[in-house]
A and B are shown apart, each in its own frame.
Chain A
Amino acid sequence: MATRHLFIELQTLNRRAKLKIIFAKFQCLCIIPALVGVDKKTCIQFCLCTFQEEMVIRPLYSGDIYASFQFRTQWDTDFLHDGKKVSHYRLFPKSLGQVLSKFSVRELHISFTQGYWRTMQWGQPFIPSPPGAELWVWFHHTVTDVDGNWKELTNVLSGIFCASLNFIDSTNTVEPSASFKPLGLGNATDHRFLRYATLPREIVCTENLTPWKKLLPCGSKAGLAVLMKSEKLFHSSFHSQAVHIRPVCKDWQCTSTAWELRQTLNVVFDLYTSGQGKKEWSLFKMFSRTLTEACPLASSSKIYVDVTDNPGGELFDLSPSSPLISTAVVLGDRRTYSVYDLTKKETFGQLRSLNLLLRWKGENDMLRPPLHAERYVSGFGLQKGEIHTCLYNSHPYRAYPVLLLDSLPWYLRLYVHTLTVTSKTRENKPSYIHYQPSKDRLRPHLLEMLVQLPPHSVTEVTVQFERALLKWTEYTPDPNHGFYIGSSVISALVPSIVAMDTNSTRDRPLFSSFFPTKEESSYFMRVYTEPLLVNLPTPDFSMPYNVICLTCTVVAVGYGSFYNLLTRTFQVDEPSAPLAKRLANIIRRLRGVPLL
């Protein structure tokens, strides 16, 4: 039964992950010890290593959403026991285990954070951390040279996490006497064995996330860690990843100890940056992935959604709904959570994928502006492209004309015969077009046209262009950043529901009297689109001398060949006499004797 379960799970993973998990599970089946004759109890003790993963989703008051991941591996072993070297690692990552035993570390806490936790808006985080990198370590009381160990430890961790922790030295390390007591077991309070350092300038990026993910037993292939895609995680207001290692009690009486490794990741997604202003959050929107299974090596895999503020479901809808509700006391407050157990097949439903969706109610009647525009560049490669400008008229029944002005630099060579204007998939010819083509290095393109926008429609204006190769001195110092193209300007007289006041001399607030109003039924509006960023092909900037030399060489090859053929004639080749004979002839000539 267990093997069948194993094989079904394995189908969804790729080969490398499969091999890793087969090996780990195989060990746990304890087949080899059974063959040898060791009894099961010893065997379980031999490889007792548990892994739990959990995620908490907490909607914040400001419309942002807070997701906190915790991955806990607990292992009954003793790194610091003299004489017994640990060499058999299963779920606990070997790199960290070796670090712990080599440097006699009792507790290790390292965190990498980008952004600042805004307590007033977001409340308290589950695992707080300062911006930048923070490392604090309790060494074992048998260590004689704590500073030496600390220095080597920071360098090794720098390599493991691909961070520049090697900048931690005596200038930024302290030994706090009271603030950082051990969080795990341990009664030593000699603060000589504690070291604390922060690097506030340290930046967190994908290079730090990848080795952090590799420390997990399932990696980022199965379980909750599949949600960790760096392009979404780093596009957030707050991101913090941490590793906490400490010894803990295995049971209530604390008869034996175990090592606990907790990897935590906290992220806050902003309503406007990641959420596009809509109060609706889902796993797909946050992480661009959904969950398909739990990590096979996890003994428990759960998602907790904080529904304390949503007792009757009147604030937001949570789908798919879960029957499991649990309460927990955290940070001095009793909170209610909707629990999703990923180890159960039913959680994933018919589609075998779980996408939690929180949709706020009553938020969708935003006032739509009557005129709105967007612009983007399409195409691929550095040879050509196409500019699309989309004009949205959201008035339900009135059509009105707009003037579109585009000023494009000369190095985007515009082809006006490819200009197309379509509304509702039909062609919409502009009634007035003024086009002034560009002159290289003198003036830009100017394209102005009057387009009639039908009611409640999207009008798309497209035009193709070619990208020019510029002289090497005409590029900016960062040429691969691209060139900025200014916004298009859309000017229109938009029909107004309320009658406008045409008397401009009457006493009015300043904000209503900027644009003059000539008619009562419409008001003047100007909309600017996004600027564009366009890449141009670049020559190699290190090559001026080389290019001049090589091209002139080719021209010289031509010149040389033609010169030879034009100035020389064919002659029969008389082989010259060997050197000795020639010298002899010279001497003979001097003597006046007949030559050889």
Chain B
Amino acid sequence: MDLRQLLLTLMLVWANDSFSTSEGQSNDGTCSKTRILIPLSPHPVLLERPHFIKCRSPELETFSCHWTNRDFHNLTTPGNIQLLYMRRNDEEWKDCPDYVTAGENSCYFNTSYTSIWITYCVKLINKDEVFDEKCFSVDEIVQPDPPVGLNWTLLNISLTGIHADIQVRWEPPPSADVLKGWITLEYELQYKEVNKTKWRELEPMLTTAVPLYSLKLGRDYEIRVRSRQRASEKFGEFSETLYVSLSSISPVLYVEVVSELEFPLLLVVIFGTFGVIVVMALILFSKHQRLKMLILPPVPAPKIKGIDPNLLKKGKLDEVNSILACHDSYKAQLYNDDSWVEFIELDIDDPDEKADGLDTDRLLGDNHLKSHNCLGVKDDDSGRASCCEPDIPETDFSASDICDGTSDIDRSKKISEKEEDLLCLDQNDNDESLASPDDPTAQKPNINIQSEDNQSKPSSADSIESPSPPVHTQLSNQSSVANIDFYAQVSDVTPAGSVVLSPGQTNKTRRTQCEAYTEPAIQCQPRFTMDNAYFCEADVKKCITATSHDAAEPHVQEQNFIEDVYFTTESLTTTAENPGPAAEASSTEMPVPDYTSIHIVHSPQGLVLNATALPVPDKEFVISCGYVSTDQLNKIMP
């Protein structure tokens, strides 16, 4: 009760403030308000004085006022509340013309009592006690009745089958004379889904029909309309709610799913597009050059066949001109040369490697290499080094005196070929040399190289294997072809049975070949066919003994020491050591075969041929004389 009293007191105070005016302004005939003071008491009597609730005109033709009346009569003097009104032009207050029509505690003013655009003042009194007073103009209190006749029609359904458009119509309140234009109403429509709480509003409109767009199928909607006088602020009451049932129209089956996916689908589309744009930008920036090439391909430069565009870049105009001036063939040659040169340039620069395959170099030593024009040429890009091939014997031997025949088989074979050519020539020389066997050094060089070799050989005591100049001291002072030193002849057979080898007596072989084998023929009867250049050892013995060997022995021996012996039987390159004095006797007695079988190799320095085993040749052996293979030798020897 105390709270209620406090609230009432506050309300009365507020009402007093809103209606209070100065006393001096009540003289001009307007409604005046008297200030009402309410004493505050500890237990204030809750006086809810009658006051106007509202005065309202629905159609601008009539109006009515309503007031409150609560338990007042019980507290104060009993009486009826009167409403007095006065218009601006009137002079006195008039009583309410109709207390009934508008209901209880109301006063109704019909059209005859209603004047528009005229200020009215009404007051509530009870006898002389004024409870409330109010002044207004009728055109200011217009609150129309609610519209009637709401209905809706379906306009269309969207293609997706999700949304629909409807048209809502209504009628103005029948009380309002809008046809003649006495009152102009504007309407406000509100709608919402059935299960929602918030109404959606449309802008006030002057028409009585409005379309509603994008209503969802499968849902139910509520629609209500209210009206107000144009240019006024207060709306009338809402109309009855119109129920729009769109659920009766069955949506497409996928509508629910699609509607649920609308939002994420939109996001996906947006982000997908953004991603595609980013990827395209990355591709553009990364493949900028390639795309540029694709879109704007470079103009192909004129290409002349056979010309290296690098030449143009380097500015070698001479070469370019030469190329251009010549025909294609020339161009090819030049181009090939250039490429060949270029190719050469890429080769390794070590000249020693080139000569690795040559054993001669190893034998000769580095100094020989340097003097060798061929090998000494540095392997540069000029290509001159490649024109020098160590395999070419001519070049080798012509180039230097040291290009001796090596122990290389190939070389020896070639040299042997040479030897045969020179056999006949040497023969004459040999004959001459035989006459003067004392001059071992006086050798008539058939070949310059050989003479050089012969001269150098005696000076060098090192045991080197090479086709040493054949110094046939026994037979001739000149060893015909130095290369023929591949052949070794048995110069002597020791009593122990070992054979002393000496450098091949080529003159002997030649003689046999040339059939000018006169001297040996004198002394020994050739019991062997002459078809073979090689002798059996037995046969050789006989021939050798006939030959003069005494004088040549020391030389031979000397030279045996010096000279190398080369055996072609097994391609063993060894240095034969002169057995020594034992060889002297044997060497003189025995003919000198070119080939001698080797059956024992004592050491790298010595080679001993066991002749004792040999003198027991089988017939087989004899028949196949000339060469005793190691197999045969193994049979013979223990």
Say whether A associates with B: no
Give B residues with C-beta under 8 Å from A: none
